[in-house]
């Protein structure tokens, strides 16, 4: 989906000239029109949609995209980066896209969400359900306000069916946990003691569903694998009982929602004689480095690009093309990567 600005750039003309050509070809010189049409053909731009896109300018559709930002959550930083790139593309069609950033490090972390909820002035909400106690009451108030106004709402990355959202786009966390169990079975020859560590609270849905799938798969298929230790915390790994893990001679660790992955080199240092294998989720620069260093054995990916961008595509099609969403959940493709894949 190419924007009017990009068409103008590739054609070597002004955006206003492109708009005139799409609206009425007779108002543009033949030589200029030929350049514009060549670009339209190359990018499969549908002329019958041109008037609709131009009309969007006058309607000034507004989308609110809620993101979470934290130094310890590199995955959500990547989501934000990808969403901003997609938003820049859609703004070329006259769509206003604002980001509501939930970040503890802001001077007033609750100021924006309170203000927006009090005077909600958007046509669409793309949101990540937040269960962190500090933000959750205000996120709940925002979702309730959107429901009262009958504004379309899409959830990404995490789902919450207690709200009337139009659909969910994101990971099938239970399946991700089952895949992790299969990987653990492969690297332990289906027997031995293992541990589960997480950087985030056990109340987070992604943690609960991953671990549910993981334990369920082990229970059904791998009876000689024993989970001897499970530890979750809020934003730190300082109280992990490595003495106990050494005593138990754990063979592998399932690292769920690893945050900044800082525990990975610590596992290698604390358990250096045990050759412990680590299975975790999401391929980010730091996890890629630890894979190449041999600290992480494998990561399970969840396609953050689709999670970041597809909600914006759907919002555009709903607002501009008046399309309907014909699914309740869109699970992104899960993948398995080892160091040799990089």
- Mean pLDDT check: name the lowest of 56-60, 94-98, 135-139, 219-223: 56-60
Instruction: Please tell me whether residues 167 and 177 are part of one structural domain.
Output: no
> Quick one: 121 exposed, middle or buried, by C-beta within 10 A (0-12, 13-18, 19+)?
exposed
First to last CA, the chain: 30
With cut-offs at 50, 70 and 90, classify the pLDDT of residue 5: confident
Instruction: Please tell me whether residues 329 and 230 are part of one structural domain.
Output: no
Among 40, 58, 76, give the residue marking a domain's end: 58
pLDDT given for residue 53 in this prediction: 62
Q: CB–CB of 261/286 below 8 Å?
A: yes
Does residue 292 sit within a domain?
yes
Instruction: Please tell me whether residues 49 and 75 are part of one structural domain.
Output: no
Instruction: Please tell me whether residues 159 and 92 are part of one structural domain.
Output: yes
**pLDDT tens digits for 287-331?**
999 999 999 999 999 999 999 999 999 999 899 888 899 999 999
Instruction: Please tell me whether residues 118 and 219 are part of one structural domain.
Output: no
Does residue 340 sit within a domain?
no
Residues 305, 309: Cα–Cα separation, whole Å: 6
CA atoms within 13 A on the CB side of 35: 15
Instruction: Please tell me whether residues 226 and 81 are part of one structural domain.
Output: no
Closest CA to 1 of 88, 81, 68, 126: 88
Instruction: Please tell me whether residues 296 and 186 are part of one structural domain.
Output: yes
pLDDT given for residue 24 in this prediction: 67
Place of tokens 């959750």: 136
Instruction: Please tell me whether residues 217 and 288 are part of one structural domain.
Output: yes
Instruction: Please tell me whether residues 113 and 192 are part of one structural domain.
Output: no
Does residue 220 sit within a domain?
yes
Among 58, 73, 91, give the residue marking a domain's end: 58
| Backbone phi and psi for residue 143, each to the nearest 5 degrees, phi listed first | -60, -40
**DSSP state, residue 249:** T
What pTM, to 2 d.p., does this model score?
Answer: 0.82
Instruction: Please tell me whether residues 244 and 278 are part of one structural domain.
Output: yes
Does residue 339 sit within a domain?
no
Residue 128, pLDDT above cutoff 60: yes
Q: CB–CB of 280/338 below 8 Å?
A: no
Does residue 145 sit within a domain?
yes
Indicate the length of the chain as a whole number: 342
Instruction: Please tell me whether residues 43 and 122 are part of one structural domain.
Output: no
CATH number for the domain spanning 40: value is 1.10.260
With cut-offs at 50, 70 and 90, classify the pLDDT of residue 94: confident
Does residue 74 sit within a domain?
yes
Residue 51, pLDDT above cutoff 70: no
pLDDT given for residue 27 in this prediction: 73
Residue 236, pLDDT above cutoff 70: no
Among 58, 75, 104, give the residue marking a domain's end: 58
Does residue 341 sit within a domain?
no
Residues 157, 274: Cα–Cα separation, whole Å: 35
CATH number for the domain spanning 192: value is 3.40.50.2300
pLDDT given for residue 242 in this prediction: 94
Instruction: Please tell me whether residues 74 and 155 are part of one structural domain.
Output: yes
Place of tokens 């006058």: 58
Query: Taking residues 13-17, what's their average pLDDT?
Result: 86
pLDDT given for residue 57 in this prediction: 63
Look at the chain and report how many structural domains it folds into. Answer: 3
Residues 250, 22: Cα–Cα separation, whole Å: 66
Does residue 297 sit within a domain?
yes
pLDDT given for residue 161 in this prediction: 94
Question: What are the tokens at 172?
Answer: 């099938």
Q: Domain of 192? A: 173-301
Residue 47, pLDDT above cutoff 60: no
């Amino acid at each position: 989906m190419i924007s009017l600005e990009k068409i103008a750039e590739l054609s070597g003309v002004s955006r206003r000239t492109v708009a005139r050509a799409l609206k009425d070809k007779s108002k543009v010189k033949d030589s200029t029109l030929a350049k514009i049409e060549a670009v339209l053909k190359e990018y499969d731009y549908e002329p019958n949609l041109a008037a609709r896109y131009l009309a969007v300018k006058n309607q000034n559709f507004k989308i609110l995209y809620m993101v979470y930002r934290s130094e310890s959550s590199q995955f959500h930083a990547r989501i934000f980066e990808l969403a901003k790139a997609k938003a820049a593309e859609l703004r070329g069609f006259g769509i206003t896209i604002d980001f509501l950033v939930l970040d503890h490090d802001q001077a007033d972390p609750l100021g924006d969400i309170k203000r927006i909820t009090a005077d909600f002035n958007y046509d669409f909400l793309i949101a990540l359900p937040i269960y962190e106690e500090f933000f959750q009451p205000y996120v709940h108030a925002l979702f309730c306000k959107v429901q009262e106004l009958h504004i379309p709402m899409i959830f990404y990355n995490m789902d919450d069916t207690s709200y009337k959202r139009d659909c969910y786009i994101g990971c099938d966390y239970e399946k991700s946990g089952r895949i992790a169990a299969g990987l653990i079975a492969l690297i332990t020859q289906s027997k031995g003691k293992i541990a589960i560590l997480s950087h985030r609270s056990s109340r987070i849905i992604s943690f609960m569903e991953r671990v549910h799938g993981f334990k369920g798969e082990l229970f059904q298929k791998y009876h000689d694998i024993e989970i001897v230790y499970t530890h979750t915390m809020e934003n730190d790994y300082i109280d992990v009982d490595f003495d106990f893990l050494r005593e138990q001679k754990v063979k592998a660790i399932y690292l769920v929602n690893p945050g900044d992955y800082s525990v990975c080199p610590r596992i290698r240092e604390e358990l250096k004689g045990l050759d412990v294998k680590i299975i975790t989720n999401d391929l980010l620069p730091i996890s890629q480095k630890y894979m190449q260093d041999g600290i992480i054995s494998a990561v399970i990916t969840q396609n953050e690009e689709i999670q970041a961008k597809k909600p914006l595509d759907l919002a555009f099609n709903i607002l501009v093309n008046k399309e309907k969403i014909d699914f309740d959940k869109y699970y992104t493709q899960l993948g398995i990567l080892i160091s040799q894949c990089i």
